Chains A and B, each alone.
Chain A
Amino acid sequence: MATARPVVSIYNFENPSEKTGTMPMPVVLQSPLRPDLVREVHRDMAKNKRQAYAVKPKAGYDTAAESWCTGRAVARIPRAPGGGTHRAGQAAFGNQARGGGMFNPTTIWRRWHRRVNVTKKRHAVACALAASALPPLVMARGHKINQVAELPLVVSDGIQSLTKTKQAKEALKKLGCGEELQKVIDSKSIRAGQGKARNRRYVKRLGPLVIYNEDNGITRAMRNIPGVECAHVDRLNLLRLAPGGSFGRFVIFTEGAFKKLSDIYGTLKSGAPKKKGYTLPRAAMANADLARIINSTEVQSVLRPKMERYTHGIKRNALKSKELMEELNPGSTERRAVQLKSSQKGTPEYDEVQKKKKARIEESKKYNKEHKKGDETFYKTLMKAFEAKAAADAAKKAAEKADDEEDEE
């Protein structure tokens, strides 16, 4: 938070429409908001007030039961010994048995309490205080603060000297807490669950938390007002500042308490005077305005410009699409057109082709006339291959005939 600290008005508790003074906001109330931290610390701190519960150590095992083993046509579970009573021979010990012990009996040595690091606890309180200074968070928590003049609400020290509840109530109403107090009264209802039978019959909402510095009667005045709680500024409890783990409790500070916050917590540079070795939490990002950072000239000047993405669309077949073929093979359309023309009668291309054809045929005829004459014709050359064989056959026949004649003779 590099901004200058805002100034908080102090309201006169008797006449809250007038302001008795102003004070700069303590640095604590500008701590970074960490709902995760508050939730975690609250969860662990809330476990520390628990009372142990467990079943009796001997529960279910206070019999001399023994298994009858096999051979007696009964299940092997341990059975109560003896006779003369229904109990004899009944199953015992197992969690399935009537009157037996439970599975995994609850124990008192369950780890009921949790330790939380001191720094963590202090950070959580700082966060919760900071949240209590922000109207949207307080409203989100459910408090009715529409009539409240300002958050954080700081009241002059006179309120610490109130002794009568009636006066205290008046003062709160004049400060704009009327709606809040009414909300608490209206919300009283019977608790759902067994708690109602265990001396926790009613539940109601929480009202404002009044943080004071010097108790001159204020606690006793405020303690009977439903919903209102008081806390000394030296001993702030996270369980009250962030009930249920949700920060944003409606807090009313007295002037002295508000001043003391600065004395207790100090600043980021000075550390906390009243908490040894402790400094208020720092934000993870000094400037959390991402949009402004991204759009700043420092960042934009070193970025390359945004580029359009390559889109390839559906692959088309150039052999089918003339348009695509022209794109891929420039000039193909005109070449194709010229080619087609050569099969259309009357065009010069057609004539060209016919001329070539004629020339070719002429060539061939000329060649044949020259070379394929007399014995060079196709037929003659073909038959020449058979001539040799024909001659051989004729010779063979002649030879056979000669032999036959010889034999005859």
Chain B
Amino acid sequence: MAERYAISKVNVPEGAAVPELVKMKMEKEEKLAEEKKQALAAKQKAREEERAKLKERTVAYEKEYADTAAELVKLRREAKLNGNFFVEPEAKLIFVVRIAGIMKMSPKPRKVLQLLRLKQLHNGVFLKVNKPTLNMLKLVQPYVTYGYPSLKTVRELIYKRGFGKVSKQRIPLSSNDIISDALGKHGIHGMEDIIHEIYTVGPNFKQVSNFLWPFKLSSPKGGFVNKRHGYCEARGGDWGNREELINELLGRMN
């Protein structure tokens, strides 16, 4: 807190008689300036420590991602070798994008979209996959498109369009301090921590996902196929679950 003291410089011309109140103010400001200097030094030290730790964690995360990917490859190969079928792990993470506008929305899907924080066209949120969320998505199928984002997509979304909810305001994630202040108590102190928590759907996924303001995406460059129809229909469409292919769409919307 002391780092943010606003110190005002009192300009006293040479040789002028200093009024009593001005003198009091000068003494007060001096003391605050001293406190501020100390606090800034302490903050700097803490910041360096924090950054070193974050760096270690990031390296560990990258290893973790590479390891999990390699593990999957190994298992697939093993299955093929033994003539078995490898059952791909079900997705844990979903990214949902609102496709429909706000006009003429039935009350039930409208409420569900509100609950999912998809209040605007092309808003996107990360969701955990479980029974309740899947059932909610079922209710709003024709108004959203969703799928399983890749690590690259998650990173790009958070770096480019990541904003946090700080005292009910939408604040850009321009510094790790913002993240640390909001999510520090859950052990999340930086961008890479957020990305890890989201991608691996960790124990604090809810807090992190809620901290992230719903992503405001652009309309996709190259367009939609047909928003009125489902992705899986033969004639081509856009709403519903498009599994891995959400990444292609998000690449055009981000």
A residues neighboring B (CB under 8 Å): 291-292, 295, 297, 300, 305-308, 312-313, 315-319, 324-325, 327-332, 335
B59 at the interface (CB under 8 A from A): yes
Once the chains bind, are A329 and B160 in contact (CB under 8 Å)? no
Once the chains bind, are B28 and A300 in contact (CB under 8 Å)? yes
Once the chains bind, are A313 and B174 in contact (CB under 8 Å)? yes
Once the chains bind, are B174 and A316 in contact (CB under 8 Å)? yes
How far, in whole Å, are A317 and B162 apart by their CA atoms in the complex?
10
Select which of B28, B163, B175 is within 8 A of A327 by beta carbon.
B175
How far, in whole Å, are A312 and B2 apart by their CA atoms in the complex?
19
Q: List CB contacts (< 8 Å) of B23-63 with chain A.
A: 24-25, 28, 32, 51-52, 54-55, 58-59, 62
Known: A330-B51, A331-B55. A308 touches B191 (CB 8 A): no
Q: Is the interface of B mostly helix, strand, loop or mixed?
A: helix
How far, in whole Å, are A263 and B29 apart by their CA atoms in the complex?
52
Once the chains bind, are B160 and A319 in contact (CB under 8 Å)? yes
Once the chains bind, are A295 and B21 in contact (CB under 8 Å)? yes
How far, in whole Å, are A306 and B1 apart by their CA atoms in the complex?
11
B192 at the interface (CB under 8 A from A): yes
How far, in whole Å, are A300 and B2 apart by their CA atoms in the complex?
17
B67 at the interface (CB under 8 A from A): no
B171 at the interface (CB under 8 A from A): yes
Shortest CB–CB separation between residue A311 and chain B, in angstroms?
Answer: 10
Residue of B nearest to A306 (CB): B6
Residue of B nearest to A317 (CB): B160
Number of A-B contacts (CB under 8 A): 65
User: What residues of chain A lie closer than 8 Å to B25, measured between beta carbons?
Assistant: 295
B237 at the interface (CB under 8 A from A): no
B190 at the interface (CB under 8 A from A): yes
Select which of B4, B54, B175, B191 is within 8 A of A307 by beta carbon.
B4
| Binary interface encoding of chain B residues 189-204 relative to chain A, with 1 for a CB under 8 A from any of its CBs, else 0 | 0111000000000000
Known: A307-B6, A315-B174. A331 touches B156 (CB 8 A): no
B159 at the interface (CB under 8 A from A): yes
Once the chains bind, are A330 and B54 in contact (CB under 8 Å)? yes
User: What residues of chain A lie closer than 8 Å to B174, measured between beta carbons?
Assistant: 312-313, 315-316, 324
Once the chains bind, are A312 and B172 in contact (CB under 8 Å)? yes
Residue of A nearest to B47 (CB): A330
How far, in whole Å, are A182 and B160 apart by their CA atoms in the complex?
80
Known: A313-B174, A315-B174, A317-B159. A329 touches B6 (CB 8 A): no
Known: A297-B24, A331-B58. A308 touches B4 (CB 8 A): yes
Residue of B nearest to A367 (CB): B81
Shortest CB–CB separation between residue B73 and chain A, in angstroms?
Answer: 12
User: What residues of chain A lie closer than 8 Å to B171, measured between beta carbons?
Assistant: 312
Q: List CB contacts (< 8 Å) of B159-191 with chain A.
A: 159-160, 163, 171-176, 190-191
Select which of B4, B8, B59, B175 is within 8 A of A328 by beta carbon.
B175
Q: List 11 A-B contacts (CB under 8 A).
A: A292-B21, A307-B6, A308-B5, A312-B171, A318-B159, A328-B175, A328-B191, A329-B192, A330-B51, A330-B58, A331-B58
